[in-house]
Amino acid sequence: MGFERVVSILQEKMSNYDSDIFTPLFEKIRQQTSCRPYQGKLGEEDKDGVDMAYRVVADHARTLTFAIADGAFPSNDGRGYVLRRILRRGVRYGRQFLGGELGLISSIVPTVVELYKDFFPEVEKHQTTAQEVIADEEKAFGTTLQRGIERFTKSLESAKQKGLTKIPGDEAFFLYDTMGFPLDLTQLMAEEHSMGVDVDGYTKAMEKAKMVSRSDRKSRASTGGKVLVLEAEQTDHLQKQGVKPTVDDWKYSWNHEPSASVMAIYTGDAFVQSTEEVATDESIIVILDKTSFYAKSGGQVADTGSLVSLDVKFDVADCLSFGGYIAHIGRALEGVVTVNQPVNCAVDYSRRAKIAPNHTITHTLNLALREVLGEGADQKGSQVDEDKLRFDFAHGKPLSASQSKRIESLVKQSIKDSLEVYTQVITLAEAKAIHGIRAVFGEVYPDPVRVVSIGKDVPSLLQDPENEAWMALSVELCGGTHLKNTSEAGDFALVEETASAKGIRRVIGLTGEAALEAHKAAETLKQSLADAAKQPDVELEPLVAKIAASIDAATISVAEKDAMRKELNKLGDRARKAVKEAAANALAKATAEGVQLAESYAKDGKAYVVAELALGADAKVASKVVTTMAEKMNGGSAMVVSHDARKGKVLAVASCGKSHQPGQLAANAWVSAAVQPISGKGGGKPALAQAQGSGDPSAAAAVAQTAREYAEKALSI
């Protein structure tokens, strides 16, 4: 008996929705929508559909909150799409029947948490994530919801006018494909109007869309973008020809070139008997009876290498699995590949030797994340290749500097500890019984399944599967290729941490030589910081900018990068303080020079003054200086011309006395004329104006000279 039913019985309620599990949710919905209170009406009594909407929104808010707290997130496939369908159904009910705004469901999450946190503490822990994820989904669907409802209404009216009892399948598919309406939502909306949906037509429309997609792939192939896959038609053909699925037990062997037989050759359009029927340099698929190549799976990239014999060399660029058939994708470099021909599988083991550390260390990284962030940091995906490892995990916010540092430290320690890596194939039931075993939730695993355990052999785990000590070990279901000992990874650097999706973070790590290079680069930058710290404050500004750019561009540990940025900020504070002081001193000096010059000109009975001062391109400061200078001119006029070396700008600001403005010297005309040599622009009023353009110190001198000539002419001096 479920929790809700038990509560309704204890509270002597005929319906779960009348218990105090739901009444607070209904009240929250009423507050958010200003709709009438919930009345418990059903069926024909609920003519306006309001009570049904109350129940749907409340129940769906609960479902989504719990699901996200358990690590599931809305997406376009699998369980994620189930959640997306639930959410969109709730959004539509809240909007159409309750008049709620977007964000209604996410606004109910705190109430759900308050109701259940004492019984299910995990919902409180993940409240923020649940609220943010739901809000984002509501916003995304809200952009098409109203248009989708309008489209459905038109389709409904059209169907009724034609005497149909069902919404046409192509219309239902359009609502799904373009408006984001899941089929079951369209069916529900149709039922509300005593109509159905042509599901067969919907299925045909979807198949047609898939065919168009396949045609697009073939079109890309004809223009060089070849896509080689084995679909159901091809695997069925192989089965009918008696070709058995590829035996790939050798994929875990190293430095071994086993012999195999070519069972089929596929061009992407047809099966052929030999590569003589294939254009030169054309990529094809070769199927073997057995192989030592690892096909792309579980986030690990495929092996590459060659299929070779005495006079044949076939370059294997990729390896994929289709229904048990391993497709060796590549092209013939030498000789002719023929069906039934024996070849040796020459895997590029030097490349695999770079992939294996990244895969094994992904497992110790998974364990470190669990230790630092807790059980909720479930794996959401990964990718390992010869260059790096990438790992996605459930977590609602960026890692802190201390968390990144701790995670990296734990992984590095696992390498220093020289832990043995054990693998064994056991039954799925045995594997699942091991306490603390990690797997990707929602992933389908074979039975029997391969277990990879780091630091403890699998038989020991099976002897005492419920031992809580296993929680401290890395034990995972995994079919990838691994190291024999963690020490072979050499080193580790966690070099990137970003958001992958709402509620999901992504980290990128390096092992081996790449990790060592990352740490060396960090040491070099640390030395640059130390050297910069010894420099005079007034010389720090360009150094800080240069080092900041180097840190941003560097592939180094996230923790080290964060620590360096903090040190750089201290240097930046010193530089800014020095620049500010220098600017203040320069301004005071320039102002004094300008005022002194104006006073001198006024004493000599001059009507105007043009001063070249070091004020940068700060028009506000220049305006204050030039106004003060004009005042010293006893009603005369003044212009300041300043060159900003950093910006490469020349600024001209003028202040004209009232006696000059009528028909003689106006500030706006004066500055416009002054900047003509540098094609500058400006504006303002007759009393005060400014203009600027690009140029060097010589350009500033030209502007000043032009200003003097203009003033002489305007004032008829």
The annotation places the binding site at 359, 363, 478, 482
208 neighbors 296 (Cβ within 8 angstroms): no
User: For 175, phi and psi rounded to 5 degrees?
Assistant: -60, -35
Q: Which residues are annotated as a binding site for Zn(2+)?
A: 359, 363, 478, 482
What is the DSSP track for 371-419?
HHH-TT--EEEEEE-SS-EEEEEE-SSPPPHHHHHHHHHHHHHHHHTT-
**Amino acid in position 104:** L
- In sequence order, what are the residues at sequence separation of 6 or more whose Cβ sits closer than 8 angstroms to the Cβ of residue 522? 554, 556, 557, 560, 561, 564
β 637-644/649-655 pair status: antiparallel
- In sequence order, what are the residues at sequence separation of 6 or more whose Cβ sits closer than 8 angstroms to the Cβ of residue 296? 302, 318, 319, 320, 321
What is the DSSP track for 573-619?
HHHHHHHHHHHHHHHHHHHHHHHHHHHHHHHTT-SEEEEE---TT-H
* 450: Cα separation from own chain's centroid: 31
β 313-322/325-334 pair status: antiparallel
Report the alpha-carbon distance of residue 77 to residue 227 in Å, rounded: 23
DSSP symbol at 338:
B
**Amino acid in position 298:** G
265 neighbors 284 (Cβ within 8 angstroms): yes
650 neighbors 622 (Cβ within 8 angstroms): no
Distances from the Cα of 534 to the Cα of 548, 574, 584, angstroms: 17, 12, 24
* Residue-wise burial string across 291-330, b where 16 or more C-beta atoms lie within 10 A, e elsewhere: bbbbbeebbbbbbbbbbbbeebebbbebbbbbeebbbbbb
505 neighbors 497 (Cβ within 8 angstroms): yes
Report the alpha-carbon distance of residue 218 to residue 12 in Å, rounded: 65
Tokens representing residue 414 in the block: 């696992």
DSSP symbol at 290:
B
Task: Count CA atoms within 13 Å of residue 261 on its CB side.
Answer: 7
301 neighbors 278 (Cβ within 8 angstroms): no
Tokens representing residue 185 in the block: 């939502």
Tokens representing residue 240 in the block: 């009918």
315 neighbors 331 (Cβ within 8 angstroms): yes
Report the alpha-carbon distance of residue 626 to residue 613 in Å, rounded: 10
Using alpha carbons only, what angle is made at residue 176 by residues 170 and 178, rounded to the nearest 5 degrees? 90
144 class by beta-carbon count within 10 Å (0-12 exposed, 13-18 middle, 19+ buried): middle
